Structure 1
Amino acid sequence: MSANTKRPQEMNILVIDDEEKICELIKIFLESAFPFHSVVAAPNAAQAMQKFLNQEFDLVIMDHVMPGKLGIEFIEQLRNSVKYNKLKIILISGYLQQEDVLAAIQLNVKHIIVKPFTRQHLIQQVSDILKINPEVETD
């Protein structure tokens, strides 16, 4: 980066997935593609809410099927909050039913990724949503 090149504004991304390996993989994908941005992980909705108490996020990438609270239920909780009702969200799942998709749309979730997904697809979605360019090739 040259002295005249400005570093992009740091974006904060929260990844919520009860599968630790999926969470770590998403974190690795995002940190390699967007090194100037912060990626934080939580294994469930309860721990995610704790993260929200300490940090603001520009994007949440969350699994739908998790113990304790489904992704749709957590999104509804966020949407009922004035502070988070416009938060950008990517819902990921391998088990979405038609009613889940409809509920997500009604909750203004514009991006749904079906598992399994590619690194390229995830990075492209994040890039489009946050309007940031990846630092590395997405192939």
Structure 2
Amino acid sequence: MEKNQLDCLIIDDDPGICRVLKSYCENLGVFRHIIIAGDGVLGCNKLRNQKFGLILLDVNMPKKSGLDVINELGTDQLNRIEDVIIVSGELDKDKITSILGSGVKNFIIKPFKEEQFQEKVLPIIKKNFSKNSK
């Protein structure tokens, strides 16, 4: 894998979770930039302007929820639903149904360990690296 070809976007309103996610991403050593957006509105603005190889998204946020971000991402030509991992501690049956219906397939439930994080993230990174090298 060639390093530093992909960018990562973390969309979460909890600064502590953002720090943990950023640290875990840095430990992978594969991202050119790791950008943090503290709410769904800022996240959508970033998604409109930049391609990301990995998008880590909380569901419960002020201003614009993760579900709203996913719905907006569905019309995005730059970024893909397949590159989203939902990172949340509160997922009821209705939210899970909505998320799965949108095409998102990956979840990390808070709290989580770095090994669990890598288990979900590495397949997406590998897939995007293979696409970039073609």
Which residue number in structure 2 is paired with residue 56 of structure 1? 51
Q: Distance in 2 between matches of 1:129 and 1:80?
A: 20
Which residue number in structure 1 is paired with residue 98 of structure 2? 103
Q: 1:102 to 1:70 in 2, by over 3 A?
A: same
Amino acid of the structure 2 residue aligned with 1:66: M
Instruction: Extract unaligned runs of 5+ from structure 2.
Output: 128-134
Q: 1:84 to 1:19 in 2, by over 3 A?
A: same
Larger Rg: 1
Large movers: runs of 4+ above 6 Å: none
One of 21, 24, 30 as aligned partner of 2:25 = 30
Is the contact made by 2:82 and 2:105 (CA closer than 8 Å) also made in structure 1?
A: no
Q: Distance in 1 between matches of 2:25 and 2:16?
A: 14
Count residues with an aligned counterpart: 127
Alignment of 1:1-139 (within 5 A): 7-8=2-3, 10-131=5-126
Q: Distance in 1 between matches of 2:49 and 2:71?
A: 21
TM-score (norm 2): 0.84
TM-score (norm 1): 0.81
Is the contact made by 1:58 and 1:87 (CA closer than 8 Å) also made in structure 2?
A: no
| Greater helix fraction, Structure 1 or Structure 2 | 2
Identity score, percent: 28
Instruction: Extract unaligned runs of 5+ from structure 1.
Output: 1-5, 133-139
Where 1:80 maps in the other structure, the secondary structure is: coil
Q: 1:79 to 1:42 in 2, by over 3 A?
A: same
